[in-house]
Amino acid sequence: MSAEVAVRTDRQRRLLRRLPWWIAAIVLVGIAVLWIFPFLWMLSASLKDNMEMFTGGLKLWPSKFVWDNYTRAWNDAHFGRYLINTVVVTVITVVIVTIRCATAGYVLARYRFRGSRIFLGVLVATLFVPTGYTIIPVVKISMQLHLIDSLGGMILALSGGAYVSAILIYYGYFRQIPRELEEAALVDGAGFVRTFFSVMLPLAMPVTATVAVLTFITTWNAFFLPLVFTFSRPDLRTVSVGMQAFVGETATDWSGMAAAGVISIVPVVVLFIFMQRSFVEGISGAVKS
């Protein structure tokens, strides 16, 4: 009997001690809901009809679910096509960027050769180059190479852009791998290429995940380059450019626009939820180094 009372008060005391934290958490949850309100609003707007969007105000739950908005966005506003373009561009860019950054980071970290210092120096110096600065020559050279107005050209331009940080992440990782490992691979008869592909690259798996996720999100969300590359080819737009064009072309279909926004944003958000850790690692890496 007395033991039971003791247990209960103990638990009560523990609960009481945690109470301020729970209050803080509830306040924060409130702020967080406000924080993601624009997304909730977009989601709800994508299911309302255009009339209700004007009159509904802040109300989130639609009085009647209009799934037709999604069909209109997908077909009439061409978001089905834009989504495919975006997926193609993003996936290929991620593959190119990851491979080129992994190989470059590897040789820069493991070998000293003529020009390696300069190479690294140039990379670091261009860490922050903004797209607005390079855009005119990029368009000009793409025209000279007959790469403008094509998804291929867009992919190349995107994969040649600012992924210095990805090289530096690989560089940092490969640099701290001990020499003995390479020697062991050598003893086992692995050459340069095999050492990289069957020893080093598998070891760097977490880094690869981080670089791939960061590149995915950057490319998916890219706007300036895709905008300029698709001026004369509306059929090659990515979702971000398509959204901007949507407002100009069909200014009245607001709920269709909201549906298009949902279609465009859902893939990145889903990827983020599953790959959260890699993404956060990549961002915090900038501070730790």
Partner 1 sequence: MTSRAVQLTRRQTRASAVDRPERPRHGWKKTTWIWIFLLPTVVLYGIYTIYPIIASYWYSLVEWNGFDADQKFVGLSNYREVFADPLFWNSFKITLFFMLLVVPARVLLTLLVAMILNNPKLPLIGVLRSAFFIPVVTTTAIIGVVMRFILDPGTGPINSLLMKLGGGGVDFLGGQHLALPTAAVLYIWKFFGVTMIYWLAALQTIPYELYEAAKIDGAGTWQLFRYITLPMLKPFLIIITVLTVEETFHNFDLMYTLTAGGPYFHTEIIEIYIYRWAFAAPIPQLGHASAAAVIFGLLVAIVGAVQLWGVYAGRRLRGEQR
Query: What part of residues 100-139 is at the interface with partner 1 (CB under 8 A)?
Result: 100-101, 103-104, 106-114, 116, 119, 122, 126-139
> Rounded distance, CA 78 to CA 84, Å?
10
Residues 70-89 that bind partner 1 (CB under 8 A): none
> Rounded distance, CA 82 to CA 207, Å?
30
* Interface with partner 1, residue 6, by CB under 8 A: no
Among 246, 253, 256, 259, binds partner 1 (CB under 8 A): 246
Start-to-end CA span in the chain (Å): 58
Task: Show the binding pattern over residues 156-175: x = contacts partner 1 (CB under 8 A), - = does not.
Answer: xx-xxxx----x-------x
Nearer to partner 1 among residue 6 and residue 36 (C-beta): 36
Only one of the segments 8-16, 76-84, 98-106, 204-212 lies at the binding site for partner 1 (rule: CB under 8 A); that segment is 98-106
Q: State the number of binding residues for partner 1 (CB under 8 A).
A: 114
Residue 280's CB: how many other CB atoms inside 10 A?
13
* Interface with partner 1, residue 61, by CB under 8 A: no
Only one of the segments 2-10, 65-73, 77-85, 188-196 lies at the binding site for partner 1 (rule: CB under 8 A); that segment is 188-196
* Interface with partner 1, residue 66, by CB under 8 A: no
* Interface with partner 1, residue 199, by CB under 8 A: yes
| 90 closest CA partner among 184, 226, 230, 229 | 226
> Rounded distance, CA 202 to CA 74, Å?
40
Crossing angle for the helix pair 151-159 and 131-144, to the nearest 10 degrees? 140
Residues 30-49 that bind partner 1 (CB under 8 A): 32-33, 35-36, 38-39, 41-42, 45
Only one of the segments 2-10, 62-70, 71-79, 264-272 lies at the binding site for partner 1 (rule: CB under 8 A); that segment is 264-272
Spell out the residues 6+ positions from residue 209 whose beta carbon is closer than 8 angstroms to its own.
Answer: 275, 278
Among 192, 206, 233, 235, binds partner 1 (CB under 8 A): 192
| 68 closest CA partner among 261, 247, 259 | 259
Q: Are 229 and 157 in contact (CB under 8 A)?
A: yes
